[in-house]
Structure 1
Amino acid sequence: MPVLIGSYADQYSTYDDDFKPLAPPVHTPAPAFLAVGPAGVRYAVAEIDGGQVSAFTRAGEPLGRLPTGGGGPCHVAVAGDRLFVANYATGSVAAFALRPDGGLDRRTDLAQHVGASVNPDRQEGPHAHQVTARGSMLHAVDLGMDAIVHYRVSPEGTLEHLRTTTVQPLGSGPRHLVFHPDGRVFVANELTSTVATYTSGFELLDVKPSCLVQPVGDNLPSELALSPDGRRLYVANRGNDTITTFAVESGGLLPIDEVSTGGTWPRHFVVLGGALCVANQHSDTVALLELDQDSGVPNPARVVIEHPSPSAVIPVAE
């Protein structure tokens, strides 16, 4: 499956199944995260002070650019004819309507988070880090507030606040979440180097260290993802520069193994076929880790792409 590589190097790139370039890079400001719409349109945030989101055709032709209403947008998600963006620096969530051709129409709402938590360096205010759309619901993970904010998306595209889940313990700094088919929710906590398990109603069940090897310095988990069968959870560790594999069991998460990503600062990864594809931001590489068919544990990494400051790997179903 082709992939898009987002980056902090003012360009994103498209590669085929063999990790060969499919087209020249598309130049746009700080496309740190991307999403692909149903029409194959590419959406890229501009993670800059005056945040923006842009739309591009498959060929890289622009389909419009709009301000996100906040600073440092770091995540974007598509759901039908709606687009959602998390503004990290200013702690807000923006909603957009899309045109029939997939281009950007207008911003329909901007929900500003308010709050802080116990870490004075990282939690002095709200920092929305991820948006996940499920049906008419939108869940926003906010590292600065130690919270997951739940919204209902109205037919008009407004964000109706339903409730806020405060994560425990305070200071965890939630970054990203993923939903398991059985309803449980797993959350990567950046500031405490942990992964938490919640019920479908967001009641805390368990918290585990995100790595098996004791970090020498700081370790900041980034992305997490489930295997297609839901039996394994993978968590990336920036600091240890590893992927930790957990078995997903009825009683909780069981750590299995921790392997190197073959580079430094694994900011993002995806499960791609029978492998993990990892963006190693600080080593300017993208690596592939084949998964053992029986254990689901990643094998040693091999670098497949050299790319400046890669920050996201996004599969493209053409």
Structure 2
Amino acid sequence: MPVLIGSYADQYSTYDDDFKPLAPPVRTPAPSYLAVGPTGVRYAVAELDGGQVSAFTPDGALLGTLPTGGGSPCHLALAGDHHLLAANYATGSVAVFALRPDGSLDRQTDLAQHAGASVREDRQEGPHAHQVTVRGTMVHAVDLGMDAIVHYRLSPSGVLEHFHTTTVQPLGSGPRHLVFHPDGRVFVANELASTVATYTSGFELLDVKPSCLVQPVGDNFPSELVVSRDGRLLYVGNRGNDTITTFAVEPEGLLPIDEVSTGGTWPRHFALLDGALCVANQHSGTVTLLELDRDSGVPHPARVVLEHPSPSAVIPVDR
């Protein structure tokens, strides 16, 4: 399965199953996060003060660029074939874009501005939308600055209708990313508290666990979460410890079972690739692969498969 590597180095790259480049890097400003549309179009944020999103053909030709209406867009999500959403971290908003039939960007259809703050004056002085996730007609925006998950309904015309806001507890947790389990439960990585929380499908808090087994020497900031394909395991990245923690998903909650080095520094993002975890280690400029044990699903020690400037996202291309 080909894979895209996003970065802060003004380029994204495409590699094959053996991590050989399939094409020259595509030059574009700060493409820290990417998404692949149903027509194969690649979408890339420009994580700048004046945020942008661009669309590219699979071979890297620019199809168009639109402003996101906010600062430092850091995450993208597709809503079917018709809309693309972007989370603006610096200004705390969620933008919606209509897509043309060929997958190119048409226009911005909405911009939902968050408002609020929380207890950490250094990181939560205002809203900071960090991730946007789409499930059916529902959109869930994780806001680190507000200590909140903001829930919307997305209309057929691309308008976000506020449904509910979940306040994360305890305050100061700083939620970053969430992932849904097949049974409906929701797992949330709390960046500022170095924890992972479990919620019901209705976003009622069930449990909170430390995101690592090894006590951090300094700060530790969880990043991405991935659920195994069979739903038995949850993997959580740790920036600081520079590890992946494996949790068993039990009926009563998460059971920590292992923590292994990513083989690099500052694992900002990772993805599941054909029986392995592929990790973007931002500060060491490396992409590593951690093979998963066939029986237990626990990652084996990492090996470096790529040197890449400031890698920040690993996006599998399954079409």
> TM-score range with shorter-chain normalisation?
over 0.9
Query: How do 1:194-209 residues align onto structure 2 when only pairs under 5 Å count?
Result: 194-209=195-210
Cα deviation code 1:252-310 (max 9, x no counterpart):
00000000000000000001110000000000000000000111110000000100000
| Counterpart for residue 43 of structure 1 | 43
Partner of 1:16: 16
- SS at structure 2 position matched to 1:115: coil
Q: Deviations over 1:186-212 (max 9, x none)?
A: 000000000000000000000000000
1:14-163 to structure 2, matched below 5 A, reads: 14-80=14-80, 81-163=82-164
Counterpart residue type for residue 179 of structure 1 = F
Deviations 1:122-177 (A, max 9, x none): 00000000000011110000000000000000111000001100000000000000
1:60 CA displacement: 0.3
TM-score (norm 2): 0.99
Match of 1:182 in 2: 183
The ranges of structure 1 where at least 4 consecutive aligned residues each deviate by more than 2 angstroms after the TM superposition are: none
Letter in 1 for 2:90: A
CA distance in structure 2 between the aligned counterparts of 1:226 and 1:201, rounded to whole angstroms:
19
- Tell me which residue corresponds to 1:244: 245
Measure, in 2, the Cα distance between the counterparts of 1:145 and 1:7. 26
| CA shift digits 1:228-264 (9 cap, x unpaired) | 0000000000000000000000000000000000000
Gaps of 5+ in 2: none
CA distance in 1, matches of 2:231, 2:108: 35
State the alpha-carbon separation in 2 of the partners of residues 75 and 174 from structure 1: 14
Number of aligned positions between the proteins: 318
Q: Which residue of 1 aligns with 2:7?
A: 7
Question: Which amino acid is the alignment partner of residue 283 of structure 1?
Answer: S
Match of residue 301 from structure 1: 302
CA distance in 2, matches of 1:248, 1:87: 31
Using the TM superposition, give the Cα deviation of residue 317 of structure 1 relative to its aligned residue in structure 2, in angstroms.
Answer: 1.2
Match of 2:213 in 1: 212
Q: Which amino acid aligns with 1:106?
A: R
2: CA distance between counterparts of 1:13 and 1:154?
34
- Give 3-state SS (helix, strand or coil) of 1:48's partner: coil
CA distance in 2, matches of 1:317, 1:191: 33
Partner of 1:230: 231
Instruction: State the distance in 2 between where 1:155 and 1:105 align.
Output: 15
Q: Deviations over 1:27-56 (max 9, x none)?
A: 000000000000000000000000000000
Root mean square deviation of aligned Cα: 0.4
In 2, Cα distance between equivalents of 1:230 and 1:147: 25
Q: Work out the CA distance in 1 between the residues paired with 2:214 and 2:96.
A: 40
Q: Percent identity?
A: 84
